[in-house]
């Protein structure tokens, strides 16, 4: 007979696969874009399909997105250029859309080649044309077109210095957008007056559209003034290449053009749509959980914090469901997403999801019918070949019986070795998409498992 | 006009007061105990009121519980002895029940006097008698009756050594129960064959009845063997007083009696009922939130983890409600409880609830209509005169404008000074009860606040 834990684990894995499938670039585009006769239906919007259709974009998942667009529009596509990671480029099956293989996370000359060609295509597009833009995680590095006088290596240098100094993604983008001819709404400006339809897969916690791939088609609320302040704040201004300082100084004096701002008429021709994201995946997982007969809720897609501490809250929720049926009576599923962090103190190997799962295993020891899984939707958790891990109330005990002390492995940040020895890895390979991490709690009802 | 934040803050404070009121010892007893003619109704149970009724107990909230019992049973009480903190004893208005004022958290001679008198009273009670036992937090220290040959100071010494070595409450109680004539079910054994009705206020996360005041009326699953292992594990065995070692060795050889175990017929005469606890308060708060027109859920009463990291999860839930209406559409209330911890790194003054609130303020900066409050239900957060604090999306900005950097104060564990300067303390004085901490998230709907 299947144990309650087996049932719970199976459900958790099913839900994770559902979440990843909802973020699959091909599926996500197909769910949001279709041709009805001569009409193009995109989300809530219906357009006459024009004679000229261009496809542009950049990102790790953009290849799959472009394949879906080609499968829908085929020869109706006039031309296109996308930029994807070098290693993925040869695998794509595209007839109308050209592919540039570029480097990431550090942009290279191919990123600039892609940036230039995409800007040229956008400029070519006439008023009656449609530009379909496809952006996903990694797009910032894979596509760039530096402002005049600034080299891509100089932008890289400044970006790395900022990241090492601890700036956040919003601050980093403020600077990058003000050194770019394609980011921060510039792509939309170049395409104007063509209509722009931008489909995005969000790898940014909170799904701020101006942050995904640095928002090439999104109004930019940041300024040269803000870029200057960020560089000053982190002590980078003085060390920055003179070309960067000079360009930003020109901007401060009004001699270089500001990025297109909210309210710019350019954006009346632009429609931005997120087709896959953490919250969209969590919603799909919730639907699936309900289909499977569970009470289900999405708690948050904005999870942050130290993985082992977040695990305590996750475990506390699982145990409360078991004990009092709050917030949902079992059989119950609680879904979370986001991106936790790990402060490395030990010498082991692991990732934030495996560490969260290991810490949760310690907290739920002895609980019946509970499974907790944590995975990276891209299929890669830290520098390991696992997407994440799954645990239940028996995991910690089973580990100790096998001579593996869960607390010691957690102390050593050695979650990968823990699961290699004890079992519980979720291994999916690269999934071809990234909408951050999923954390799934499944709590079975006694009777349910016993009847199974 | 009231701002959205004002509305949210007011609701959060109302709910906290509701939670504390639900845990008020007098109210809690009155909700669960009443006289109907000659019948005593206790929870789901109805008993004929016998001629002999004894009242015993110990704990910081036990005075209020005894007052409620006297107000219900009056002269029907034959006799009684309770033990409460020295400073509270003179304030109690009791006619039939005698009060011993004892010391805590370190037990003293008064604790032993109380323990002996309570055991004597229990032994006096005949088969037809009813013993009403009233336990609450602090009961372990306020009432003790050491086994023969062991002194109270020796038990204290061992307890302190164990706590300093990092043992948990379950391990500590395993040892204490095996050195006591009143804990670990012994009180029920002494009272047998009298009927025992034990009402408890739980200050233990998870409400394990054998842990509240060390479970004088609850079957004890732990053993001499377990007590020995705990003392060995923390390296205390060798240093323990010889009287303690000798008694436990006698127990290991079967020469000293084991604590009453689950299945012992003694417990057929015992009814244990938790009348106030974190989850009972959270449930009352949820009802109140619904009355006030909010969507509401209880997430967990088992919250643990580093306060500043837990705050990130709390903030992530608040922001998701605002953004997507998950897990509940606004106006929404999410309720949590338990006990977080603070790893002190700075030199400031604060408590776990104030630290959680300060960290949450940083995380929710700029969110509209959100309030987050964290308080200790006993009215004391850390070594401060505040019960906790409340924050909203403007707190962090307002602080900086006043020259108070929230991040710096958090780094210095200086949450008390932060709220003293910026405002946001919740100050309640001693509440006279303790069911751990409450964390309340309130998220207003735009229209609601604007209409207000």
Residue for token pair 């923390």:
B234
Q: What Å distances lie between residue A246 and A51, A238, A252, A260, CA to CA?
A: 43, 12, 10, 21
Q: Is the pLDDT of residue A139 over 90?
A: yes
- In 3-state terms chain B splits into helix, strand, coil percentages (rounded to 5) of 45, 20, 35
Contacts of A230 (CB under 8 A, 6+ apart): A162, A167, A171, A172, A174, A175
Size of chain B, expressed as the number of residues it contains: 452
Q: Is the pLDDT of residue A121 over 70?
A: yes
Q: Is A301 close to B324, i.e. CB distance below 8 A?
A: yes
Taking contacts as CB-CB distances below 8 angstroms, the residues of chain B near A298 are: 320, 324, 326-327
Report the C-alpha gap between A434 and B87 in whole angstroms. Answer: 60
What is the pairing mode between strands A39-42 and A45-48? antiparallel
Report the C-alpha gap between B307 and A306 in whole angstroms. Answer: 11
Is residue A232 helix, strand or coil?
helix
Instruction: Let me know: does B43 contact B274? Beta carbons within 8 Å.
Output: no
How many contacts does A have with B, using Cβ atoms within 8 A? 101
Report the C-alpha gap between B247 and B250 in whole angstroms. Answer: 5
Cα first-last separation, chain A: 7
Q: What is the pLDDT of residue A446?
A: 81
> Which chain A residue's Cα is nearest to B280?
A324
Taking contacts as CB-CB distances below 8 angstroms, the residues of chain B near A326 are: 279, 282, 297-301
Instruction: Let me know: does B442 contact B292? Beta carbons within 8 Å.
Output: no
User: How many CB atoms are located within 10 Å of the residue A293 CB?
Assistant: 11
Distance of CA B352 to the CA centre of its chain: 15
Q: What Å distances lie between residue B38 and A55, B35, B48, B96, B271, CA to CA?
A: 85, 7, 6, 19, 19
Report the C-alpha gap between B64 and B69 in whole angstroms. Answer: 9
Per-residue model confidence as pLDDT tens digits over B269-287: 999 999 999 999 999 999 9
Q: Among A42-46, A237-241, B190-194, B250-254, whose mean pLDDT is lowest?
A: A42-46
Q: Does A411 touch chain B (CB under 8 A)?
A: no
Q: What is the pLDDT of residue A451?
A: 40
Q: Does B316 touch chain A (CB under 8 A)?
A: yes
Confidence of residue A78 (pLDDT cuts 50, 70, 90): very high
Instruction: Let me know: does B370 contact B445? Beta carbons within 8 Å.
Output: no
Per-residue model confidence as pLDDT tens digits over A319-340: 999 999 999 999 999 999 999 9
Per-residue model confidence as pLDDT tens digits over B406-440: 999 999 999 999 999 999 999 999 999 999 999 99
Instruction: Let me know: does A231 contact A248? Beta carbons within 8 Å.
Output: yes
Report the C-alpha gap between A306 and A122 in whole angstroms. Answer: 43
Q: Is the pLDDT of residue A452 over 50?
A: no
Per-residue model confidence as pLDDT tens digits over A93-120: 999 999 999 998 889 999 999 999 999 9
Q: What is the pLDDT of residue B86?
A: 95
Q: Is the pLDDT of residue B451 over 70?
A: no
Is residue B384 helix, strand or coil?
coil
Q: Does A310 touch chain B (CB under 8 A)?
A: yes
Taking contacts as CB-CB distances below 8 angstroms, the residues of chain B near A316 are: 300, 302-304, 338
Q: Which of A218, B128, B223, A407 has the alpha carbon at shortest distance from B231?
A: B223
Of A305, A317, A363, Cβ closest to residue B312: A305
Report the C-alpha gap between A93 and A69 in whole angstroms. Answer: 12
Taking contacts as CB-CB distances below 8 angstroms, the residues of chain A near B327 are: 297-300, 327
Instruction: Let me know: does A361 contact A418? Beta carbons within 8 Å.
Output: no
Lookup: tokens for B332? 């929404």
Confidence of residue A2 (pLDDT cuts 50, 70, 90): confident
Name the DSSP class of A385.
Answer: S
Facing residues of B388 across strands?
A: B375, B426
Contacts of B327 (CB under 8 A, 6+ apart): A297, A298, A299, A300, A327, B297, B317, B320, B321, B334
Give A289-342 as a DSSP string.
Answer: HHHTT-EEEEEEEEE-SBHHHHHHHHHHHHHHHHHH--SSPSSEEEEEEE--B-
Of A298, A315, A319, Cβ closest to residue B327: A298
Instruction: Let me know: does A149 contact A243? Beta carbons within 8 Å.
Output: yes
Q: Which of A67, A229, A251, A72 has the alpha carbon at shortest distance from A162?
A: A229
Report the C-alpha gap between A369 and A298 in whole angstroms. Answer: 20
What is the pairing mode between strands A388-392 and B33-36? unpaired
Identify the residue among A208, A309, A410 best suited for mutation to test binding to B, counting B beta carbons within 10 A and taking the highest.
A309
Residue for token pair 């009233």:
B134
Q: Does A221 touch chain B (CB under 8 A)?
A: no
What is the pairing mode between strands B39-42 and B45-48? antiparallel
Q: Is the pLDDT of residue B29 over 60?
A: yes
Instruction: Let me know: does B415 contact B389? Beta carbons within 8 Å.
Output: yes
Instruction: Let me know: does A351 contact A436? Beta carbons within 8 Å.
Output: no
Size of chain A, expressed as the number of residues it contains: 452
Taking contacts as CB-CB distances below 8 angstroms, the residues of chain A near B170 are: none
Q: Does A338 touch chain B (CB under 8 A)?
A: yes
User: Which H helix or E strand runs over B113?
Assistant: helix B109-124
Residue for token pair 């520098």:
A383
Q: Is the pLDDT of residue B448 over 90?
A: no
Residue for token pair 């897969």:
A201
B109-124 helix and B152-164 helix, angle to the nearest 10 degrees:
110
Closest Cα in chain B, distance from residue A6 (Å): 24
Determine the average pLDDT of the residues in A275-300: 98
Report the C-alpha gap between B260 and B199 in whole angstroms. Answer: 19
- Tell me the average pLDDT of chain B: 96
Taking contacts as CB-CB distances below 8 angstroms, the residues of chain B near A410 are: none
User: Using CB atoms within 10 A of its CB, is residue A90 exposed (0-12), middle (13-18) or buried (19+)?
Assistant: exposed
> Which chain B residue's Cα is nearest to A301?
B320
Q: What percentage of chain A carries pLDDT values higher than 90?
A: 96
Lookup: tokens for A209? 């559209």
Q: What is the pLDDT of residue A447?
A: 60
Closest Cα in chain B, distance from residue A222 (Å): 17
Q: Is A300 close to B317, i.e. CB distance below 8 A?
A: yes
User: How many CB atoms are located within 10 Å of the residue B57 CB?
Assistant: 34
Of B302, B306, B327, Cβ closest to residue A299: B327
Residue for token pair 């790898």:
A203
| Phi then psi dihedrals of residue A375, to 5 deg | -145, 155
* Torsion angle defined by CA atoms of residues B348, B352, B355 and B356, in that order, rounded to the nearest 10 degrees: 170
Q: Which of A38, A16, A2, A33 has the alpha carbon at shortest distance from A389?
A: A16
Of B302, B303, B316, Cβ closest to residue A303: B316
Taking contacts as CB-CB distances below 8 angstroms, the residues of chain A near B303 are: 312-313, 316
Report the C-alpha gap between A237 and A224 in whole angstroms. Answer: 13
State the pTM of this model: 0.92
Q: Among A52-66, A417-431, A435-449, whose mean pLDDT is lowest?
A: A435-449
> ipTM score of the complex?
0.91
Diameter of chain B measured on Cα atoms = 75
Q: What is the pLDDT of residue A105?
A: 86
Per-residue model confidence as pLDDT tens digits over B330-355: 999 999 999 999 999 999 999 999 99
Determine the average pLDDT of the residues in B11-27: 97
Instruction: Let me know: does A268 contact A274? Beta carbons within 8 Å.
Output: no
Of B299, B309, B338, Cβ closest to residue A310: B309
Residues 166-195 of chain A whose Cβ lies under 8 A from any Cβ of chain B: none
Report the C-alpha gap between B36 and B52 in whole angstroms. Answer: 17
User: Which H helix or E strand runs over B82?
Assistant: strand B79-85
Q: Does B333 touch chain A (CB under 8 A)?
A: no
Per-residue model confidence as pLDDT tens digits over B91-100: 999 999 999 9
Per-residue model confidence as pLDDT tens digits over A372-424: 999 999 999 999 999 999 999 999 999 999 999 999 999 999 999 999 999 99
Report the C-alpha gap between B7 and B440 in whole angstroms. Answer: 14
Q: Does A273 touch chain B (CB under 8 A)?
A: no
Lookup: tokens for A226? 């803000």
Q: Is the pLDDT of residue B449 over 60?
A: no
Identify how many contiguous H helices and E strands chain B contains and give both numbers.
17, 15
Closest Cα in chain A, distance from residue B420 (Å): 27
Q: Which of B211, B133, B212, B201 has the alpha carbon at shortest distance from B377?
A: B201
Taking contacts as CB-CB distances below 8 angstroms, the residues of chain B near A299 are: 299, 317, 320, 326-327
Report the C-alpha gap between A330 and A332 in whole angstroms. Answer: 4
Instruction: Show the CA angle centred on residue B313, arms to residues A416 and B420, nearest 5°.
Output: 130
Q: Is B310 close to A306, i.e. CB distance below 8 A?
A: no
User: Using CB atoms within 10 A of its CB, is residue A24 exposed (0-12), middle (13-18) or buried (19+)?
Assistant: buried
Taking contacts as CB-CB distances below 8 angstroms, the residues of chain B near A315 are: 302
Q: Does A66 touch chain B (CB under 8 A)?
A: no
Q: Is the pLDDT of residue A450 over 70?
A: no
Confidence of residue B105 (pLDDT cuts 50, 70, 90): confident
Taking contacts as CB-CB distances below 8 angstroms, the residues of chain B near A309 are: 305-306, 309-310
Residue for token pair 């109330």:
A393
Determine the average pLDDT of the residues in B203-229: 95
Of A313, A320, A327, Cβ closest to residue B305: A313
Lookup: tokens for B87? 């400073």
Of A300, A313, A324, Cβ closest to residue B320: A300
Q: Is B326 close to A302, i.e. CB distance below 8 A?
A: no
Taking contacts as CB-CB distances below 8 angstroms, the residues of chain A near B317 are: 299-300
Q: Is B327 close to A303, i.e. CB distance below 8 A?
A: no
Report the C-alpha gap between A73 and A130 in whole angstroms. Answer: 12
Instruction: Let me know: does B56 contact B133? Beta carbons within 8 Å.
Output: yes
> Which chain B residue's Cα is nearest to A342?
B309
Identify the residue among A296, A302, A315, A374 best suited for mutation to test binding to B, counting B beta carbons within 10 A and taking the highest.
A302
Contacts of B136 (CB under 8 A, 6+ apart): B25, B57, B58, B59, B60, B61, B62, B65, B200, B201, B203, B212, B213, B433, B434
Report the C-alpha gap between B114 and B120 in whole angstroms. Answer: 10
A91: left (phi over 0), alpha (psi -120 to 50) or beta: alpha
Identify the residue among A315, A316, A359 best suited for mutation to test binding to B, counting B beta carbons within 10 A and taking the highest.
A316
């Amino acid at each position: 007979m299947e144990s309650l834990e087996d049932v719970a684990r199976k459900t958790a894995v099913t839900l994770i696969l559902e979440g990843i499938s909802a973020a699959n670039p091909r599926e996500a585009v197909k769910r949001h874009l279709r041709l009805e006769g001569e009409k193009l239906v995109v989300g809530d919007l219906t357009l006459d399909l024009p004679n000229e259709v261009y496809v542009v974009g950049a990102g790790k998942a953009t290849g799959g997105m472009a394949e879906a667009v080609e499968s829908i529009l085929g020869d109706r596509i006039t031309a296109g250029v996308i930029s994807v990671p070098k290693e993925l480029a040869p695998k794509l099956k595209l007839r109308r859309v050209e592919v540039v293989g570029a480097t990431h996370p550090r942009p290279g000359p191919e990123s600039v080649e892609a940036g230039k060609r995409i800007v040229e295509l956008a400029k070519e597009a006439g008023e009656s044309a449609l530009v379909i833009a496809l952006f996903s995680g990694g797009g910032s590095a894979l596509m760039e077109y530096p402002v005049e006088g600034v080299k891509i290596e100089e932008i890289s240098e400044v970006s790395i210095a900022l990241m090492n100094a601890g700036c956040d993604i919003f601050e980093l983008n403020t600077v990058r957008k003000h050194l770019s001819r394609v980011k921060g709404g510039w792509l939309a400006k170049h395409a104007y007056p063509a209509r722009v339809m931008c489909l995005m897969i969000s790898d940014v916690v909170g799904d701020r559209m101006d942050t995904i791939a640095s928002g090439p088609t999104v109004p930019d609320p940041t300024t040269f003034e803000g870029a200057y302040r960020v560089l000053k704040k982190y002590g980078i201004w003085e060390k920055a290449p003179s070309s960067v300082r000079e360009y930003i100084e020109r901007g401060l004096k009004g001699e270089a053009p500001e990025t297109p701002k909210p309210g710019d008429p350019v954006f009346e021709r632009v429609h931005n749509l997120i087709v896959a994201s953490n919250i969209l995946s969590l919603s799909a997982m919730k639907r699936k959980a309900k289909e499977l007969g569970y009470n289900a809720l999405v708690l948050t897609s904005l999870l942050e914090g130290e993985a082992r501490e977040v695990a305590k809250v996750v475990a506390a929720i699982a145990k409360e469901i078991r004990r009092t049926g709050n917030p949902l009576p079992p059989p119950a599923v609680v879904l979370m997403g986001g991106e936790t962090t790990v402060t490395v103190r030990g010498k082991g190997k692991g990732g934030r999801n495996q560490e969260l799962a290991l810490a949760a295993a310690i907290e739920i020891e002895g609980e019946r019918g509970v499974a907790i899984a944590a995975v990276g939707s891209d299929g890669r958790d830290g520098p390991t070949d696992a997407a994440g891990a799954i645990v239940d109330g028996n995991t910690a005990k089973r580990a100790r019986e096998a001579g593996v002390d869960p607390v010691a492995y957690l102390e050593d940040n050695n979650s990968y070795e823990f699961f290699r020895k004890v079992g519980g890895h979720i291994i999916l390979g690269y999934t071809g998409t990234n909408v951050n991490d999923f954390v799934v709690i499944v709590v079975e009802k006694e009777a349910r498992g016993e009847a199974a």
